[in-house]
Structure 1
Amino acid sequence: MARALRGRGIALHTDAAQSLATVVTDVTELGVDLLSVVGHKMYAPKGVGALYVRAGLPGPVPLFSGGGQENGLRAGTENVAGIVALGAAAELALKERENDAARIRRLRDLLLSLLTEAIPGLRLNGSRDHRLAGNLSLTLPATGATALAAAVPEVAFSAGAACHTGAGLPSPVLTAIGLSAAQAARTVRLGLGRYTGEDDIRSAAQALVRGAHTAVDTSE
């Protein structure tokens, strides 16, 4: 996409919120003009992020006026503690990313194996290999995501796709990859991270399997 857009006067932005903790992210290699970073996705505090803007590109247009000390982009005082924490988290991610990714990927595959063996007809959405290390998108054969969440309150997971929880409509991401509205309603997104352990995986799998077999489905 970057190669196709280069020289056409079209800026390319990529949302790298989920990437930096486990994926090598190089703006030059990607060829992007803008790239968003979210602090809490790589273990910085919530409420801080960063936007990379390629040199020579016009800067962002502020939504609110004021704040000369913020280069005219926003009013208010900089979140200095958050900014420092974001920098520290980025340094740790650079050092730990490879080991984190390998360990998280192993646990993710263990979770997938445990769930697949115990829930016939479970569907993995997307490639098994070409995905974020800590991400599983699974479509259950006969249980709605909302019903599963109610049946398994001890496990935190999301229904559908990122940023669509509570929307009440099937995720356009899931329907774009070919899922029906009913299948999208039976889709859950499981996330693993730096502090997930094997005991967590096994207990979560046991609870999810129990819920998948006992929850009352109201998604149809």
Structure 2
Amino acid sequence: MSKRVYLDWNATTPLRDEARRALAAAQDLAGNASSVHAEGREARKLIEGARSAVAAAVGAQPRNVVFTSGGTEANALALAPGLQAEGGSPVGRLVVSAIEHASVLSGGRFPPGSVARIRAGRAGVVDLGHLRDLLQGGPPALVSIMLANNETGAIQPIEEAAGIVHEAGGILHVDAIQALGKMPFEMRALGADLVTLSAHKVGGPKGTGALVLSDGLNGLEPLLRGGGQESNRRAGTENVAGIAGFGAAVGAAMADLPAAAARMQVLRERLESGLRWTPAIIFSDSVRRLPNTTLFTVPGLRAETAVIGFDLAGIAVSSGSACSSGKVQPSHVLEAMGFDSNMAQGAVRLSMGWSTQDADVDLCLEAWRSLAGRLLKDQRRNTA
């Protein structure tokens, strides 16, 4: 079989060697982390080491890291009425950006009637003026805005949003799942009160995530009740192996971050230069983006056709958005940005990672030239 090229890192990343070793070592431990004997203490030591690594990656305190089964659970845990900043009133409504992940757009534990959406502009950046308007009047709000969009890669103005939210007496949740390991950030500098993370976006195992809280935040109601694990914030025996793998992956990602980000930026610029051989539209290219992400389309392109064509050529890419059944759906992000359904249906996402090479970009562009040539030929035939 010829070499395959993986360019779908925003969907999930390969497992890092460091995470694989940590997983294997943790699987050999017999103890329950809640047990007080030596075997239990050894399991607890792995969890607390990972907690420190995750906290350090976002500039937080280890005691404020709550491990979950993944990013979706972390978002659901965060999006709850009753959260309260120190000295403030409990939040009674939810305001989310229209470009959020489905796990945030679902509204968490807020009643549907208490959820409002912030508009996004054509470049894929949230409208801060609209956010300010939405926060006028009514009870304090929990606001959820992602740090970097998973489809376009557009980085959001979180610091400015935090100022608006806190001035109105609200609380800010930031889904940083796609940003972790691709750009440096710290919770305090962002002004975030809650941050959600996921292991498999940084080379860790699937099925492990975290909610990170700021100091002074109260009123977090657990989703899962029972035992007192995670400081009574998430019941259930901890996934020791997954958590250990998460910690190892985060440590490796942060150590390599400056060099990896710079290299991916160069590769992305080269990739996009090659894509523009055709009349390609690259979304959010006028704003600051993650260094590894390109979302593009060509008028008349159907994403499903392009994804299959790339796959047959040995290149793994994705559409802008895909549902759990694998059927390509119009990108809700592009629709929120004001693009019509035809454009939103044709978006293809290319995303790179720490091991992407120049040769991978070359093979992708070679496949694209062949695909685009057939597409443009068919378009000319249909309009003749």
The code of the aligned residue for 2:210 comes to A
1:25 aligns to what?
A: 185
Decide which moves more: 56-65 or 92-101. Answer: 56-65
- Matches for 1:9-158 after TM superposition, within 5 Å: 9-117=169-277, 119=278, 121-127=279-285, 130-153=288-311, 154-158=314-318
CA shift for structure 1 position 66: 1.2
Gaps of 5+ in 1: none
2:155 aligns to what?
A: none
* Distance in 2 separating the partners of 1:145 and 1:172: 14
Identity, % of aligned positions: 36
Describe the SS at the equivalent of 2:335.
helix
* Distance in 2 separating the partners of 1:182 and 1:39: 34
* Distance in 1 separating the partners of 2:322 and 2:196: 16
CA shift for structure 1 position 175: 1.4
1:74–1:136 distance in 2 versus 1, CA, 3 Å: same
Decide which moves more: 174-183 or 188-197. Answer: 174-183
Greater radius of gyration (CA)? 2
* Distance in 2 separating the partners of 1:29 and 1:188: 33
* Distance in 2 separating the partners of 1:181 and 1:10: 34
CA shift for structure 1 position 165: 8.3
CA shift for structure 1 position 164: 8.2
The code of the aligned residue for 2:303 comes to A
| TM-score, length of structure 1 as denominator length | 0.88
* Distance in 1 separating the partners of 2:250 and 2:230: 22
Describe the SS at the equivalent of 1:6.
helix
Decide which moves more: 165-174 or 14-23. Answer: 165-174
1:122–1:96 distance in 2 versus 1, CA, 3 Å: same
* Distance in 1 separating the partners of 2:263 and 2:325: 28
Q: Deviations over 1:62-85 (max 9, x none)?
A: 223212234333443111122222
Is the 1:67–1:73 Cα contact (8 Å) retained in structure 2?
no
| 2:374 counterpart of 1:214 | yes
Is the 2:162–2:172 Cα contact (8 Å) retained in structure 1?
yes
Query: What is the root-mean-square deviation in Å for CA atoms of aligned residues?
Result: 2.2
* Distance in 2 separating the partners of 1:7 and 1:125: 32
1:200 aligns to what?
A: 360
* Distance in 1 separating the partners of 2:229 and 2:199: 22
1:138–1:201 distance in 2 versus 1, CA, 3 Å: same
2:320 aligns to what?
A: 160
1:37–1:181 distance in 2 versus 1, CA, 3 Å: same
* Distance in 2 separating the partners of 1:163 and 1:31: 32
The code of the aligned residue for 1:144 comes to R
Gaps of 5+ in 2: 1-160, 380-384
CA shift for structure 1 position 163: 7.0
Figure out how many residues of one structure are paired with residues of the other and give that number: 215
Q: Tell me which of the two structures has the higher relative contact order, counting C-alpha pairs closer than 8 angstroms and 6 or more residues apart.
A: 2
CA shift for structure 1 position 159: 0.9
